């Protein structure tokens, strides 16, 4: 089965995710209105500018449909601004409190190799005006840290990461996400 993955495409870096997911064999649909969420096996919330993205989500009436998609157990992967909008103070898809531009602004963009739960080899991470996770609820598992600050986490089928694997050629996180989507699809069919 070829998984059908939606990518929120109101603003920001959706193209790089689309390219990587297609290379990994997924079918991709750009999501701009609630109807675009129908029938998806997974959804990516890309990086960009979280305030602009939230305005677009409000304008298109996407907030509630996005919450419903998560409630149905559809896997979601949020990167950078996608992490920010998933947090408690915005869409509330995952129980985390987020600090925006936590490492500083443009000058504090950097790269690092991170230990990441579930991967034997370090994950190469590109951070661009990245957030970190200030506080995580009890149901949240931290997957990676930088200097003791959580930069990746998971709760249920929602995974958020503060960096940009889609920009560094780091394909393993997207590959794992596609496997998760396929498994969720099989459960739904059973
Ligand atoms: N700093 C941006 C924001 O706060 C996020 C940056 C990114 O997605 N690379 O929305």
As a whole number of angstroms, the distance between CA 121 and CA 118 comes to: 9
Instruction: Fill in the DSSP letter of residue 140.
Output: P
Give the Å distance between the CA of 1 and the centre of ligand 1.
34
Please indicate whether residue 128, judged by its CB atom, sits closer than 6 Å to ligand 1: yes
| Structure tokens that stand for 83 in this block | 């992490």
Task: Determine whether 60 is an active site residue.
Answer: no
- pLDDT, tens digit only, all 190 positions of the chain: 799 999 999 999 999 999 999 999 999 999 999 999 999 999 999 999 999 999 999 999 999 999 999 999 999 999 999 999 999 999 999 999 999 999 986 667 999 999 999 999 999 999 999 999 999 999 999 999 999 999 999 999 999 999 999 999 999 999 999 999 999 887 777 7
Task: Determine whether 181 is an active site residue.
Answer: no
By most ligand atoms within 8 Å of CB, the mutation choice from 10, 12, 131 for ligand 1 is 131
């Amino acid at each position: 089965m070829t998984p059908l993955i939606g990518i929120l495409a109101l603003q920001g870096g959706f193209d790089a995710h689309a390219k990587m997911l297609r290379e990994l064999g997924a079918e991709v649909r750009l999501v701009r209105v609630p109807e675009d969420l129908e029938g998806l096996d997974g959804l990516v919330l890309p990086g960009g500018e979280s305030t602009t993205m939230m305005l677009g989500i409000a304008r298109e009436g996407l907030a509630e449909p996005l919450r419903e998609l998560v409630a149905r157990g559809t896997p979601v992967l949020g990167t950078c601004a996608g992490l920010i909008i998933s947090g408690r103070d915005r869409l509330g898809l995952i129980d985390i409190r987020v600090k925006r531009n936590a490492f500083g602004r443009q000058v504090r963009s950097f790269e690092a190799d991170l230990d990441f739960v579930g991967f034997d080899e370090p994950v190469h991470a590109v951070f661009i005006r990245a957030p970190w996770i200030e506080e995580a609820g009890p149901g949240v598992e931290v997957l990676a840290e930088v200097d003791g600050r959580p930069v990746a986490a998971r709760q249920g089928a929602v995974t958020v990461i503060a960096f940009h694997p889609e920009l560094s050629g780091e394909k393993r996180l997207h590959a794992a996400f596609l496997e998760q989507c396929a498994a969720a699809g099989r459960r739904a069919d059973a």
